[in-house]
Chains A and B, each alone.
Chain A
Amino acid sequence: NAGVMQNPRHLVRRRGQEARLRCSPMKGHSHVYWYRQLPEEGLKFMVYLQKENIIDESGMPKERFSAEFPKEGPSILRIQQVVRGDSAAYFCASSPSGARNTIYFGEGSWLTVV
């Protein structure tokens, strides 16, 4: 059973470009979470999704950031018009339904904005 798969692992974008980060959850997992980690900092929650539904987006910046988890295919975190402050590691995690279940993390996507 493959783990949570994220790609790309490393992404370089110029200021003003768009970044798309993809996440395939573990098999059988219907919940996806996105977190951001700035250098030498902890993990900040961004968004929590189920298939075709955003459950909690309280951590998403109001502008330029969006996320989806379609019925088919991976979850996508999209950052439009990137700025240098968007440079960070973005982690996706997944779990089955049910609060008792463990949330498993992917290896992360490192975004560098130049």
Chain B
Amino acid sequence: AQSVAQPEDQVNVAEGNPLTVKCTYSVSGNPYLFWYVQYPNRGLQFLLKYITGDNLVKGSYGFEAEFNKSQTSFHLKKPSALVSDSALYFCAVRETDGGTASKLTFGTGTRLQVTL
């Protein structure tokens, strides 16, 4: 069974500093990995995904994520945080089985707090 771990409930960073939100995954086959962001009382917005190819994936709003197969990690990063980045971030994995799609399995979420 596929699973995702987000070890930090909350990450605090000062505006202008780099940020990292951690994610590790477990799947039996090849993983498709996703990051989503959720603002209060809103749905999830897609940020980026890793399917194959370059391990560094660039996404929306200046976010990027690095796929590391040996460490089974897919950490979300941004070089310079903004106060408006403060939100709840979810990592998710989608397991594939011969190309057959499956559901997304989410981590428990990490609350990012960016302060001035």
Contacts and interface: CB of A to CB of B under 8 A. Distances in A.
A26 to B, nearest CB: 12
16 contacts: A31-B101, A33-B103, A35-B106, A41-B108, A42-B108, A45-B106, A93-B44, A93-B104, A98-B101, A99-B96, A99-B100, A105-B36, A105-B46, A108-B41, A108-B42, A110-B41
Contacts of B45: 105
Interface of A: 4, 31, 33, 35, 41-43, 45, 48, 56, 59, 91, 93, 95, 97-108, 110
B105 interface: yes
B110 to A, nearest CB: 10
Contacts, number: 61
A33 B43 contact: no
Contacts of A102: 34, 46, 49
Interface string B23-42: 00000000010101000011
B43 A97 contact: no
- Of residues B44, B90, B103, which shows the largest number of chain A Cβ atoms within 10 Å of its Cβ? B103
B51 A100 contact: yes
Contacts of A105: 36, 43-46
B50 to A, nearest CB: 10
Contacts of A33: 103-104
